[in-house]
DNA sequence: GAGTGGTCTAGACCACTGT
DNA sequence: CAGTGGTCTAGACCACTCC
């Protein structure tokens, strides 16, 4: 539990930050508007510069403001939200049985990360590594058994900022039937992961996705070009085949200020 | 974009926070362990107290540490994660057709918020209000048409902390056939929202859930009893009936440090 | 060049934690 | 009680923005 002062008066930085937050929520300060300058804050609330700064830091941490260096911080403009729907999984499965020239329109990167490759730089790395305790338990294999580890990262070549990131694991034994799957040079694969699994006779029955959120570290913030106060959405996904075996595990991160995760749950008819 | 200093050297607070973060990630500092005292930090990194404090604030903001008042902050212990699975929706639908004594085991609060009522205090408020622009568009009704607004809040009576929260909207026209649905006194309803809709002849076909995350405000943090650096997961859910009409919209928040949202996507068989 | 906020130092008071 | 970190003041330097 967060330590809270038990003083009769609330801390000044909290009072200031809340006052300004309320002005933002009321719409008196709109996205893009500048906050009062630090000096004005200190005058209006009669506090020292450092307390005023602390209030600004609090607002930043709540994701309400951005910018500031050299000019007053501004009320944060919400970036365009990109929706990433679970319907992709079903569409990808349908596409697997199409001829290659149809499939070719979508590679693993697009279907797994939900972004287009246009004007982005894709880094792919393939490794064969021991599964380790955690993965082994999920896959029902031994910890020393090998898994194929595939890491994808998309960067904006201009800013260098990360736009998408994911890492996935497949037990090596499952894909020995098609050695081409072990070669990163074949990326992007026409049709995505489901088609790759299809080439070794695996049909998927469902995806199980666990969603959590956490604050990025300072280096993560820099990598993604994130404002302070923006969480990362984390998806841990298991792909289950028609025999109820987990055949792929993947992790992916998404910046919460520009990502909306959509999940559709169909209900059986009465 | 976060302002970054362009000085040749990185800011001390960042250097200190990163050094300690790396020690945590390496396992040299384990959950529950105490950080070095502020004085030790200032000695080791030869900085002023305020810079050391700023580093601690950064770690707090990243959700890595907690506590502190009167003693050194400790590496955060991850609370037990509660998984909230989309399978609930399917199970609830199956239960709707059961006799009442079977249904009675689950009320709206449990099924919609995923928690048990045992030892928790439930606050319910029902209102009939105009839909407004946003809801009207979703429901396909007029902005002045009325909707039933149901707000649920679960609190721990001991600490007073909020444990669950949700608000849901249903067009009034849909439920006029059963006036009992407008009465908050009937909570908890045996069988949840799906059964309530069943009493006015509505069968649900699917749920569409949009997940985002954002940082809580300072008052939200206090309400939920959240540590600094813990995001809130926000679910915006639409219930769609068999005629493809949106019949219920709901919003719910969950603390990200103790909640895992699970979504199962079934794939059609070839 | 004037004004801005980010970072830093030095020193103080207070509430809280332990013994 | 001594030690701790949270909050606060006062004052300084710097990089950045805008004119």
Q: What is the per-residue pLDDT across B164-222, written as a single tens digit (0 to 9) for each?
A: 899 999 999 999 888 888 877 776 666 678 888 998 999 999 999 999 999 999 999 98
Q: What is the pLDDT of residue B190?
A: 62
Q: Chain D bases under 7 Å from protein CB?
A: 3-12, 14-18
Question: Which pLDDT tens digit goes with each residue over A33-92?
Answer: 999 999 899 988 889 888 999 999 999 999 999 987 788 899 998 888 999 999 999 988
Quote the CA–CA distance of B6 and B1 in Å, as a whole number.
14
Q: What is the pLDDT of residue B5?
A: 43
> Cis bond leading into B188, ω under 30°?
yes
> CA of B37 vs C1' of D2, distance in Å?
15
Q: Flag residues of chain A having pLDDT under 50.
A: 1-7
Q: What is the pLDDT of residue A156?
A: 83
pTM of the model: 0.89
Which CA distances in Å does B163 have to A92, B84, B114, B122, B169?
38, 14, 10, 10, 21
Q: How many CA atoms lie within 13 A of B179 on its CB side?
A: 0
pLDDT band at B110 (very low <50, low <70, confident <90, very high): low
Nearest CA in chain B to A215: B62
Average pLDDT, chain B: 87
Return the minimum-mean-pLDDT range out of B35-44, B135-144, B242-251: B35-44
Q: What is the pLDDT of residue B85?
A: 93
- The residues of the protein lying within 7 Å (CB) of strand C read A 5-7, 35-39, 49-50, 53, 56, 60, 68-73; B 3, 5, 11-14, 46-51, 54, 69-71
Beta bridge partner(s), residue B65 = B75
Q: Which chain A residues in 14-33 lie under 8 Å from chain B, judged by CB atoms?
A: 14, 17-18, 21
Nearest alpha-carbon partner for B240 in B186, B188, B197: B197
Q: How many inter-chain contacts (A to B, CB under 8 Å) are there?
A: 190
* B10 contacts: CB under 8 Å, gap ≥ 6: none
Q: What is the pLDDT of residue B167?
A: 95
Contact assignment for A269 to B229 by CB distance below 8 Å? no
Among A204, A212, A236, A268, which would you mutate to test the B interface (most chain B Cβ atoms within 10 Å of its Cβ)?
Answer: A212
Question: Which pLDDT tens digit goes with each residue over A195-206?
Answer: 889 989 999 999
Residue B202 · residue B196 · CB < 8 Å? no
Residue A254: alpha-carbon gap to chain centroid: 1
Categorise residue A172: left if φ over 0, alpha if ψ from -120 to 50, beta otherwise.
Answer: alpha
* B155 contacts: CB under 8 Å, gap ≥ 6: B120, B121, B123, B161, B162, B163
Q: What is the pLDDT of residue B2?
A: 40
Whether any strand D atom is under 7 angstroms from the Cβ of B229: the reply reads: no
pLDDT band at B65 (very low <50, low <70, confident <90, very high): very high
Residue A93 · residue A175 · CB < 8 Å? no
Long-range contacts of the stretch B36-45 (C-beta < 8 A, 24+): B36/B72, B37/B72, B38/B72, B41/B16, B45/B12, B45/B15, B45/B16, B45/B19
- C-alpha triplet B182, B188, B193: angle, nearest 5°: 65
Establish if A210 touches chain B: CB-CB under 8 angstroms: yes
Residue A236: alpha-carbon gap to chain centroid: 10
Quote the CA–CA distance of B131 and B246 in Å, as a whole number.
14
pLDDT band at B10 (very low <50, low <70, confident <90, very high): confident
Q: What is the pLDDT of residue B168?
A: 94
> Cis bond leading into A255, ω under 30°?
no
Q: What is the pLDDT of residue B196?
A: 87
The SS3 call for residue A32 is coil
Q: Which chain A residues in 64-103 lie under 8 Å from chain B, judged by CB atoms?
A: 66-69, 81, 83, 86, 89-90, 93-94, 97
Q: Which chain A residues in 108-167 lie under 8 Å from chain B, judged by CB atoms?
A: none
Q: What is the pLDDT of residue A2?
A: 40
Chain A residues with CB inside 8 Å of B50's CB? 50
Beta strand pairing call for B82-85 and B259-266: parallel
Whether any strand D atom is under 7 angstroms from the Cβ of B37: the reply reads: yes
Q: What is the pLDDT of residue A158?
A: 77
Q: What is the pLDDT of residue B180?
A: 81
Q: Above 60 in pLDDT, residue B108?
A: no
Q: Above 90 in pLDDT, residue B9?
A: no
Quote the CA–CA distance of A178 and A202 in Å, as a whole number.
12
Q: Above 60 in pLDDT, residue B48?
A: yes
Q: What is the pLDDT of residue A7?
A: 45
Whether any strand D atom is under 7 angstroms from the Cβ of A58: the reply reads: no
Q: What is the pLDDT of residue A71?
A: 86
Quote the CA–CA distance of A38 and A73 in Å, as a whole number.
10
């Amino acid at each position: 539990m967060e330590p809270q002062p038990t003083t009769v008066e609330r801390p000044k930085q909290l009072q200031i930050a809340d006052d300004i937050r309320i002005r933002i929520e009321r719409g008196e300060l709109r996205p893009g508007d500048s906050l009062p300058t630090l000096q004005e804050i200190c005058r209006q609330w009669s506090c020292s510069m450092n307390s005023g700064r602390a209030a600004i830091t609090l607002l930043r941490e709540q994701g309400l403001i951005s910018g500031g260096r050299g000019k007053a911080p501004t009320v944060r403009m919400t970036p365009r939200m990109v929706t990433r729907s679970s319907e992709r999984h079903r569409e990808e499965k349908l596409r697997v049985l199409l001829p290659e020239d149809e499939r070719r329109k979508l590679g693993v990167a697009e279907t797994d990360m939900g972004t287009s490759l246009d004007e982005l730089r894709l880094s792919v790395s393939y490794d064969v590594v021991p599964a380790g305790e955690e993965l082994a338990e999920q896959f029902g294999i031994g910890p020393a058994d090998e898994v194929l580890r595939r890491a994808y990262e998309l960067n904006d070549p201009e800013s260098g900022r990360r736009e998408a990131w994911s890492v996935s694991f497949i037990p090596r034994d499952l894909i020995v039937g098609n050695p081409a799957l072990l070669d990163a040079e074949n990326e992007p694969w026409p049709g995505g992961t489901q088609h790759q699994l299809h080439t070794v006779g695996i049909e998927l029955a469902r995806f199980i996705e666990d969603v959590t959120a956490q604050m990025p570290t300072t280096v993560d913030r820099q990598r993604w070009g994130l404002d302070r106060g923006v969480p990362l959405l984390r998806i841990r996904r298991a792909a289950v085949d028609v025999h109820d075996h987990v055949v792929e595990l993947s992790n992916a991160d998404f910046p919460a200020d520009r990502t909306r995760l959509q999940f559709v749950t169909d209900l059986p008819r009465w």
